[in-house]
Structure 1
């Protein structure tokens, strides 16, 4: 069994008023990818999109730092993470193997800002869809970064914060609140 883990640390905490943190674990056992993620101190009563991001060419992704705030608005937005973390790859939602990113099937934090997510994913279906979407690329979990996104609609964001997907999903949905590098812990 292959096992991977990410320590998920806060992003944009000084701007959003919470220091979201947690852990994600991935284990591959035969044709099952088991994913578990637990978060604390996220914005309460908000749906939190969570994904892993990376580069289709196999380049190692990393967690953003303050240097990624290239427009100097005080926020590291989704677009600003791309140079170091790559693109959004696999959603940690109700059906990761379908790789449908924009949807309403992500976890919702309780009134204390806590939630946990656990899913068994058909591994081969995920690999097939992943290779189709990313030109034959390998999953390479240890080259990916887990992101957690989402702040309340009531949080006033400057116009400079990018990340709007369509009329339904704006920067409040996509603003990163935590990230962690996935590391292999056993074969």
Structure 2
């Protein structure tokens, strides 16, 4: 009697384990598919553009990444009216920590943070936000293909770009910089602040940064390995797996998430001289 009861119980447990396995594995497979689909969906990041060099410029940028497609929308005010404004995504895709510069970047204390003075803080050009054509670093000063502010100093820009895997992986490590200032208030670029160190044919006013903004939640995409500051954080992906043991099925979620948020805010530029 006891032998028959034990055999019956063993059969019931085996059937239960088989049923659990048959339902758990498809559920786990479906869960994995869902995560991949979710990762492929667009992710949007807001950027608040704050003035540099007491330019009076400010605005908002929205970056939406869907796979390798990056849509960039920028609206800004307080720019030099009727003038082209070079704009870029600056920063690093190899883990270096760059950010918007503060007044300490003005090394010669002339009241202007030039592009060269700002580069150690905000990093080199990664993408040139031109209106058409090439978007590489080499188009960084191609003002003929940069957006132009209207008569009231307002600028509106939108473009969808195809970006590299490195940019897609490190989008949070990049930030938006707009260039072009008007220290003497004559509503045009002139050589009152000298020649640009980037191109002596251009005034310093045309290339000096006017505004800068970090992506919301910036620098959480990778572990900084250098740059001006070493802060930020790392985020290693959560791994999911199915472990089978003792003839029974168990879906086991195992993951580790390390995150340290760096909230660098862009400081106002140095006052006009």
TM-score, structure 1 length as denominator? 0.79
8 A Cα contact 1:9 1:180, kept in partner: yes
Residues 111-132 of structure 1: CA deviation (Å, up to 9, x unaligned): 11001000112x2xx317xx6x
Higher relative helix content: 2
1:81 aligns with 2:118: yes
Pairwise CA RMSD: 2.3
Q: 2: CA distance between counterparts of 1:94 and 1:2?
A: 23
Counterpart position of 2:190: 154
Q: Is the partner of 2:120 in helix, strand or coil?
A: helix
Q: 2: CA distance between counterparts of 1:90 and 1:33?
A: 11
Which of 54, 58, 64 pairs up with 1:21?
58
* Structure 2: tracts of 5 or more residues without a match: 1-41, 182-187, 219-273
Q: 2: CA distance between counterparts of 1:96 and 1:76?
A: 29
8 A Cα contact 2:57 2:76, kept in partner: yes
Label 1:37 to 1:179 Cα distance change in 2 as closer, same or farther (>3 A): same
Residues 29-66 of structure 1: CA deviation (Å, up to 9, x unaligned): 24421110000111111100010111353212211111
Q: 1: CA distance between counterparts of 2:133 and 2:125?
A: 12
> Would you say how many aligned residue pairs link Structure 1 and Structure 2?
168
1:171 aligns with 2:201: no
* Structure 1: tracts of 5 or more residues without a match: 132-136
Q: Is the partner of 1:42 in helix, strand or coil?
A: coil
Q: Shift of the alpha carbon at 1:155?
A: 6.1
Q: 2: CA distance between counterparts of 1:167 and 1:61?
A: 27
Counterpart position of 1:5: 46
1:41 aligns with 2:78: yes
Label 1:114 to 1:74 Cα distance change in 2 as closer, same or farther (>3 A): same
Q: Is the partner of 1:119 in helix, strand or coil?
A: strand
Greater relative contact order structure (CA < 8 Å, 6+ sep)? 1
Mark the structure with the bigger radius of gyration: 2
TM-score, structure 2 length as denominator? 0.56
